[in-house]
Chains A and B, each alone.
Chain A
């Protein structure tokens, strides 16, 4: 069953200009953060959304949870359209849709004890008969994410624990309402390798235990291997390629995906020497003024005339494999 489906999601942010300028110009610039993104996630699956900074991956995650209002497009959750839901209805729905942010220190209130922070969603959604029952649930959850002894962690403040432990708290808080769907926005990016792997393992275990569906947003292709069933690669607000991890990794189709994979430094000198680097020149263009046609065409070694005209459609090459590139049409 499809748990989440987005259709042609678009988000433009207006660029602020000063008052004097606004008087004299009619031009209103926009940041084209997300430019027509469509995908589906099956229940119990994990979709990895991969891209560089400014690709629109985080905005996409926020749009799905309606932390941002989409400019256009539709979002379906568990078969129901949620695009136009009001704040109150959305609040109720968030019991089933949660998010884990990148920086656990920024997403925890520094004056709130850890246990209280994890209990907070229970209060908001009135889960558990009384405070004592809620406390029990929190202790159980803290134990589940390996914050032991849980009683002791309950009363600590975020600054008193390490970064890895803080991210465990954030995971516990996201999962305490037993959501079906979790957006993990660079959830392990800030952690050190050894701790990052611990957290990835925990997220995978919890996924099976709670039958979760993840949207795993990351800039790091290597971590997607362990947790993602499918991967969508974004560039300048568009999905340029989608497929299984194996497809993307062993047989990338889109020139951008190829460049992205070849740029990842291999933690193995011999493999690194063998790997062919296909590094495009220049940097990602400004999303205020994205290039016409295919957003990658100014940097693409295969660019043809047609690439400048209109953005290529995301076409199904074979089952479960989609590419937006004129090379394949």
Chain B
């Protein structure tokens, strides 16, 4: 696949199950994808589709009830067998995260500068405090916060500023992969536009790759090079941005795009997808969109669709596009 592009992160049949007394909740089920160098992959889907679980699983910061299987390579290293200690070395340095709610992910009784010093010293113990402070003020300057605020506490910042600080903190060690989990969801539109602009600038400046997790199809349209659509734990479609928006193949992607309110005043049709996503507890074989899909076939209920490679860089997980389905099963 995609020769000539450097792969930063590769997932192979990646599964994350939450173990409960009633059985496993299959939050992420069989996701295979790659993230290339310096690109942004948008992961979109509705609540409960597994996109946030996937993001947190890459850093292995899930609750203890979560079990991970499959392969996840970050620059060639498999993360799944890594111990907590080994992961701590990677987090912040090679792979970092921007969370949705910066207030709950920053420590309210730690000064801004101490957040930075902690992050830097953990990974680079040889760096002196003064050097760390210098790095911190540089990172803050990159996100438009003056270094005079280093002695402030996070609660003295506004929501937008906290998110800026969060971004500065996540990039201070120049990680190769940044995972942004709904980074602008709790912000107002104008602040959101400011932050998205900033994230774009920073990313091209530090040349990192990014997985942008969001439910907002407008945000990914602006930010992502490629887009993966998730539904009920499955990655149902993965393609370059324009292909997803203008030539989507999976019935869910098509329906999702139709139901997004646009701002075109000539288009007053409001379509929606009937029904609700299935429960992922003990969910078995079969396509998970089957009950809401207008094109359901017999095979969709019985067997999980394969990841069908339509052409280079366009994957769709749907029986409609699989060649090896017999006529009997289609009916």
Contact = CB atoms under 8 A, between A and B. Distances in A.
Nearest to B292: A194
Contacts of A246: 265
Interface stretch (A74-82, A272-280, A287-295): A272-280
A267 B257 contact: yes
Contacts of B271: 197
B92 to A, nearest CB: 28
B245 A269 contact: yes
B222 A263 contact: no
Contacts of A220: 261
A145 B256 CA distance: 22
Interface in A208-257: 219-223, 225-226, 245-246, 249-250
B263 A221 contact: yes
Interface string B108-152: 000000000000000000000000000000000000000000000
Interface centre among A245, A250, A265, A269 (most CB of B within 10 A): A265
A264 interface: yes
A53 B185 CA distance: 13
Given A264-B189, A284-B188, A272 B222 contact: yes
Nearest to B274: A198
A201 B272 contact: yes
B250 interface: no
A265 B195 CA distance: 12
B222 A226 contact: no
A226 B270 contact: yes
A305 interface: no
B79 interface: no
Contacts of B264: 271
Interface in B20-63: 46-47
A283 B193 contact: no
A264 B262 CA distance: 10
A52 B221 contact: no
B15 interface: no
A269 B189 contact: no
A195 interface: yes
A266 interface: yes
Contacts of B222: 265-266, 269, 272
B313 interface: no
A197 B263 contact: no
Contact of B158 (A219, A245, A279, A283): A283
Contact of A265 (B158, B196, B242, B257): B196
Interface string A69-108: 0000000000000000000000000000000000000000
B192 A222 contact: no
B288 interface: no
Given A219-B189, A259-B190, A267 B217 contact: yes
B194 interface: yes
Helix, strand, loop or mixed for chain B's interface?
helix
Contact of A269 (B215, B242, B259): B242
Contacts of A219: 188-189
A122 B151 CA distance: 57
A200 interface: yes
A52 B265 contact: no
B255 interface: yes
A324 to B, nearest CB: 18
A223 B256 contact: no
B257 A200 contact: no
Given A193-B215, A201-B270, A266-B218, A226 B261 contact: yes
A193 B218 contact: no
Q: How large is the interface on B (under 10, 10 to 19, 20 to 34, 35 or more residues)?
A: 35 or more
B216 A265 contact: yes
A27 interface: no
Nearest to B144: A281
A132 to B, nearest CB: 31
A129 interface: no
B138 to A, nearest CB: 21
B69 to A, nearest CB: 27
Interface string B210-251: 000001111101100000000000000000011001000000
Interface in B285-330: none
Nearest to A52: B188
Nearest to B47: A192
A179 interface: no
B273 A194 contact: yes
Contact of B219 (A198, A260, A265): A265
A195 to B, nearest CB: 7
B151 to A, nearest CB: 21
Contacts of A250: 265
B105 interface: no
Contact of B261 (A222, A270, A281): A222
A18 interface: no
B10 to A, nearest CB: 26
Interface string A183-203: 000000000111111101100
B248 to A, nearest CB: 12
Interface string B174-197: 000000000000001111111011
Contact of B46 (A192, A267, A268, A283): A192
Interface string A293-324: 00000000000000000000000000000000
Closest 7 CB pairs of A and B: A265-B218, A197-B272, A192-B46, A52-B188, A194-B273, A263-B193, A222-B261
Given A195-B272, A266-B262, A279-B197, 11 more contacts: A192-B215, A193-B46, A194-B256, A196-B259, A222-B262, A225-B268, A226-B270, A263-B192, A266-B218, A268-B262, A283-B161
17 contacts: A52-B190, A164-B276, A192-B47, A193-B256, A194-B255, A219-B189, A249-B263, A249-B265, A250-B265, A265-B216, A265-B222, A266-B262, A267-B217, A267-B257, A268-B262, A269-B242, A272-B221
